[in-house]
Copies of this chain bind each other. A is one copy, B any other.
Amino acid sequence: MLKEHVAKIAALTDAEFDNFFARFELQSFKKGQTIISAGDRVNHEYFVLSGCLKTFYINDDIKMYILQFAMPTWWASDYNALYSGAKAAVSVDCVTDAEVLRLSNANREEICSQVHQVEHFFRWRTNKGYVASQKRLLSMMNNDVKHRYEELMAQYPELYNIVPKQLIAAYLGVSRETLSRLYNS
């Protein structure tokens, strides 16, 4: 699955891919388990094989905001903490049972410096994330909740069944009450 994902962007020889792949560790988690907890040191990023993760922030009023739902072939981590060595500001946990491949920061940097095409892949991936994030920022500023809700459902219809509405509200940045009123009309 990872091979297919990477092959779309980077032309790796079998040996190169083996070198890359050997650096990952398979991990399985149960629904609700925490992968990264705010305050932790972060040493890994996670490639989702199955299930669904969420990366989220909890503010002083114990209100949660979801930055990303990570579905299969998506990557998740606290990238600020991972790159800068700072403590995690953001947490990651499992919305459903999940299988992930984890890659350490040190291993990523090493393989990136060894294999040019892997560096190319990660540049592409990060760029995609950047573009998506900008798009969401714009939507956040420009569109009302209803619009954002429809946008989300169009992009990930499967979320509707998989995740509690509360989490959808936390992704959209509204209260669960408002969201509830919204689609009962």
User: Which positions in A face B, CB cutoff 8 Å?
Assistant: 57, 59, 63, 65, 67, 79-80, 83, 112-113, 116, 119-120, 122-123, 126-127, 129-131, 133-138, 140-142, 173
Contacts and interface: CB of A to CB of B under 8 A. Distances in A.
Nearest to A128: B83
Nearest to A116: B116
A142 to B, nearest CB: 5
Given A57-B138, A65-B141, A123 B130 contact: no
B126 A59 contact: no
B83 A127 contact: yes
Nearest to A173: B141
A131 B79 contact: yes
A166 to B, nearest CB: 15
Given A116-B119, A120-B112, A122-B123, A65 B138 contact: yes
- 4 pairs of A and B residues whose beta carbons are closest in the complex: A123-B123, A133-B133, A141-B173, A130-B130
Contact of A120 (B59, B67, B119, B131): B119
A38 B176 CA distance: 36
Contact of A123 (B112, B135, B136): B112
A123 B142 CA distance: 29
21 contacts: A57-B138, A57-B142, A63-B142, A65-B141, A65-B142, A67-B138, A79-B134, A80-B134, A80-B135, A116-B116, A119-B119, A119-B120, A126-B130, A130-B130, A130-B133, A133-B133, A133-B137, A137-B140, A140-B140, A140-B173, A141-B173
A142 B112 CA distance: 35
Contact of A134 (B123, B133, B138): B133
